[in-house]
Structure 1
Amino acid sequence: MPSSPDTEGAELAAWVEQARAWLGDNAPAERAVRDPHDVSVFHNLSHDDELAILDQLRAWQRLKFEAGYGAISWPTELHGAGLSSAHADAFKAAEGEAVALTRHELFSVTINLIAPTIRLFGSDALKSRVFPGLHDGSQLACQLFSEPAAGSDLAAVATRAVRDGDDWVLNGQKVWTSGAQFAEWGQALVRTDSSVAKHAGLSAFLVPMDAPGVEVRQIKQMSGGTSFNEVFLTDVRVPDAYRLGEPGDGWKVTRATLGFERANASNKSGVGGSFEQLLEVARRSGADRDRAVRARLAEIRAREVAAEVSLHREQRARDSGEPPGASGSMRKLQWVRKLGLVSETARELLGPELIADDGRPGRFSWNAHVLGAPGYRIAGGADQIQRNIVAERHLGMPADKAPQPAVASPAVKEQT
């Protein structure tokens, strides 16, 4: 006989109290907390500082996993706790209150994007190879998607994979790969057949980043950091067991990963400056008493709350093993708009304080936000691409009829 909602609520409340007690006993030391004035969108850190952050996050993730809090809503057969999204949401909220570790995008990509993609499309052998490592922080994964010549047309990737017995041999170049210099794995989208339409000739693989022929080069960003990388693949051999989906399923696999990315677009606590940090700027200057400023702040907060509600709904759909739909694109567009509103408001409130570093906290630091926020109009798919997805998949409008080449170039046919 199924338990009643009251019983389920009581059980969840008891579980949350137990989790809060565990967090109180095990929360990381004060030295690891995030700078309260950090409003940057992308890291501006040295390689060693970034590695130190990842080491702290790995240790915390391992501690959570060993206590049963590392993969709360995943099934037990994949090393999860087998609980509901409500449990995962409750723990995340409690963790946010108790722990303020410096964030790193590579952890979010690993746990929220690539792990669920492998759950959907990975072979049993591959799942056994990467789980529980992707849950406990011992293995991290990056996305090997973008290429210099492909732009926003991800289906035009030219990196190729040729079958050679039980292996595939990969050659090509990827770019703008976040965290590649620290990752153990990379999810790669490559071309395995150029004799068919470009979307149909793609396949997806999980590539060991320490494999012979993988070279990572860091890219210096205008905001100062080196989180992005170029990745060169030269005769890299990848076992067929590391393939995601069937040959030719690469576009379907990648769409699922991008759907997870868009679904998590507003699940970035601290990225780009929070409402509370912006409100502090307004209060410090007295601008919070201005009606127009208060209306702008209210709009920003409303967008944050709406995104949180939508995120919880989509997390429950994910628990059933379903890939996200067009709603992720809508949330991504809304989140990017919120970032823009935060930038505009910070510029108006700070004026010259935004461009001159006088040493006072919470002023010039917003410069990093203004420089970084436009990047998310491209990251995870450009705004124009998101609007096409919403139009076609949510509103039922006809697909874009712009002329496209039927066959990808260069012409490299699959060899068997």
Structure 2
Amino acid sequence: MSTTLWIDDKTVAMTGERRHRHKGKPIAPGFSQPALAGTITFGPTALAAAIARTATLRTADPELLSHYRDSALSETRILVADGNEFALTEHLTSLVDSERSTFAGRVGAGITDLYMNALGYVWRDNAACLASSLKPHADFLYYGGPSSAHGVVLAEARGSFEAKASDSKMAYEAQRKYLRQVRPYIGAMSPHGQVIHGYAVAFGSRPTTTGAFLRISQTQRPKVKASGNTCTPDDGSDNGVPAGVALASHRSNFILLDALPIADWIDWLNGLRDLPDDRDPIAFIRFEYAGRRFLACADALLPYHHPRFWFDDLFGLPFWRQRHLRLHSSDVSPLPCFVMEEDAATAFLNTLTRMIAAGSREASGLLELPRTEVAGFSLDGADRRSRIAREDYDYALFGDGLALIAGKPPQRSAGVRIWHPKEGLH
């Protein structure tokens, strides 16, 4: 079997869309849903990051969820074939059916997250907060961008890598999922506001062929007469993010960064655990990459970057010199690292400190948090010029500030910043 890893960006065309009418009075008449795009472009880093983001968007123990991130990049690079068109490698056929279905579900969730972020939605939560686990419901809730000051939108993800996958089957799946798991909740109240719109995204590909099928069902909105004050403009700031959805997003983000004590403090604010025993400060390495400044958790970096981590044990063994040369070869990919854009991390961590100081066990209200421009994926090729400009970099950046860096990191840091639960980030 070939072991060529996926490197090139892929462009997948949306093969069809269907809109579903909602009964009853118009919901959030000032909301205008963004136009769907004909194509979505992404690389292995962006898809792996989206898969990890969606896998950790749960209320389970942070230590458990942190393990979900580790296989995302290696899995996508070896099971998705290289080239500009979407295709699966022959390795996928070696997996048992349950593993193949699991991977398809992860990719479906990742594609959905990329598409929603590219449409401008930023903050996310697991849609389990809408209903009990026994009642069918969609996967994710999103807030920000187009929905700012209006409410949240619901998104259901479906992935299929069956031999019988087809465009018509994906169209049927998108419609079925929308009618069963999205439409019943349009107009419902969530902990973060009213559900004002919904999507069902179905993504499929046949294992032995080239190409993919992307079908989307969404809510059909009535035409509203133009008015000077019906819509809230999307100025990119997203000031006034509901605390609950912001905390859910960043709980997932800092688990991916391996800053697990931050997730514990968020759980305490949400009333899900006792006051954390670990009240030590957390160190973040500050560095520049692709013209931006990021923070990486020192706890995640030190075991892999300390110069004597492996040197003492290997020095003098017969294969030591070859191993040393291989680890420093330009052909060897560095360890992928989740990081946070510095401004986004600063705003959230200082806000978190203020919430901790207030002693509230109920996260509520609005938080003023910035939004970053996405990078590493785009709709209708909008990111093409910026991708060409950053061809020496390999990373994906999301609107809430989370990024996955898979390219070579800089050799020098720009300093260290420390977050303390009572003193903030300094």
TM-score by length of 2: 0.28
More helix by share: 1
Greater strand proportion: 2
Q: TM-score, normalised by structure 1?
A: 0.29
